[in-house]
Amino acid sequence: MSSSDPTITLSGFTIEPLVVPVSIDAADAADFIAMAAVRSAVEAEQRGHAGEVMTAAELLPDWKDESKPMAGLVAKVGGRVVARGNLALPDGAEECWGAISVLPEFRGRGIGSALYGELEQMAQEAGRTTIQNQTTYPAGVEGEAVPAPTGFGSVPLDLPSTRFLRRQGFSLEQVGSVSALPLPLDADAFSARLGEAVTAAAGYRTITWQGRTPEEWVESIALLRTRMSTDAPNAGIQLTDVWTAERVRSVDDLWAESPRVALTSIVVDEATGQAVGFTELDVSAESDRPAEQMDTLVLREHRGRRLGMLLKLTNLRELAARFPACERVETVNAEENRPMLEVNEAIGFAATCFSARWRKNLGGSERVATGAVAFVE
């Protein structure tokens, strides 16, 4: 895709660079809004949702995060955006993350393959040696499966996303469980479980805030978010995600522009006054869509005291108090991360579908085969 002629015309469709608007109300926001609708429709299809997953206004702040630059493409048929391709390029990393979505009625035309070819070229031009992808897929798909090298979980071989990624030379690295928690929870059972966690966590206290990180905890959040990339089980996936206090403040500024709200709880070691764990919920201001359970981490040296349970229950209590219309929380955990899955299951989360993380080493990987693509997300 040359800078002099950024539009690629192929048989029956075109590919164009995605324009990222200053705001959703800007005159040039139409393609971004359409891209978000395609992404949301495919993700809802794979997760089994009835409606939107993320709106354009909710996605836009991520595209403004200078610590994780994003590049995007849209495919159009008759002027309509029918597919998108995104590439996330974290600062200081050898890896990047690619995603492609094609609306169901436009699959099988080679649109996804064309988008992927452009994304891979962009990744190589950016000096990346690895491109990675995460797919979502429903439970109950029958037939042969590709086992995860971790020994936990597998991905159905006959999924369009599996076929596509294997054709492009990707290898499966990790399988995760997508779980949901219906709200509200039984009040008596919740109180009893929270009381048990508080007792087990003697010597620690929790602090919760909504929105911007209080200045006194900015350095702690930077450390804890960085440790998520090194302490959480990532199998063969490369994950470079270094946080500084400046980055925390910058991302907080971006979140302030979003209609979604961050709800954060930390656990503090009273002996040292240091934050040793955290959990975050990404909450929709609209009650008809789920909150997303984001990162949860307890530093290794403080594990075994039920602090993960304490953190999650504390944040759920605050969610109920501050956003009583929220009816569901969703989260994703690696299948081999049994300690966190056991915490979730004890609270009441149940698997609804699954995710898979894939990796391709650039500059020498053989493609297994060729052919038309269905979709990847």
Nearest 5°: the CA angle 83, 86, 91 is 175
Q: What is the pLDDT of residue 69?
A: 92
Q: What is the pLDDT of residue 4?
A: 45
Provide the mean pLDDT of the chain: 90
Least reliable range by pLDDT among 119-133, 136-150, 267-281: 136-150
How far apart are the C-alpha atoms of 376 and 113, rounded to whole Å?
10
26 Cβ neighbours under 8 A, 6+ residues apart? none
97 pLDDT above the threshold of 90: yes
How far apart are the C-alpha atoms of 310 and 347, rounded to whole Å?
11
Dihedral angle of Cα 115, 116, 122, 124, to the nearest 10 degrees? -160
| Better-predicted residue by pLDDT, 120 or 231 | 120
Q: What is the pLDDT of residue 50?
A: 62
Residue 115 and residue 73 in contact, taking contact as beta carbons nearer than 8 Å: yes
| Segment 336-371, tens digit of pLDDT | 998 889 999 999 999 999 999 999 999 743 333 322
Domains of the chain plus CATH, in order, are 8-176+356-361 (3.40.630.30), 184-326 (3.40.630.30)
Displacement of CA 244 from its chain's centroid (Å)? 21
26 pLDDT above the threshold of 80: yes
138 pLDDT above the threshold of 90: no
Q: What is the pLDDT of residue 45?
A: 85
For residue 174, the tally of other CB atoms under 10 A from its CB is: 24
Q: What is the pLDDT of residue 34?
A: 98
| Segment 240-298, tens digit of pLDDT | 889 999 999 999 999 998 889 999 999 999 999 999 999 999 998 776 678 999 999 99
Give residue 299's pLDDT band: very low, low, confident or very high (50, 70, 90): very high
Question: What percentage of the chain has pLDDT greater than the value 90?
Answer: 77
Question: What percentage of the chain has pLDDT greater than the value 70?
Answer: 93
The dihedral built from the CA positions of residue 334, 232, 239 and 221, taken in this order, carries a sign that is: positive
pLDDT (mean) for 327-342: 91
Q: Model's pTM, two decimal places?
A: 0.88
pLDDT (mean) for 192-217: 97
pLDDT (mean) for 146-152: 93
Q: What is the pLDDT of residue 372?
A: 27
Give residue 2's pLDDT band: very low, low, confident or very high (50, 70, 90): very low
How far apart are the C-alpha atoms of 164 and 69, rounded to whole Å?
25
How far apart are the C-alpha atoms of 263 and 209, rounded to whole Å?
6
5 Cβ neighbours under 8 A, 6+ residues apart? none
| Segment 155-195, tens digit of pLDDT | 999 888 999 999 999 999 999 999 999 999 999 999 999 99
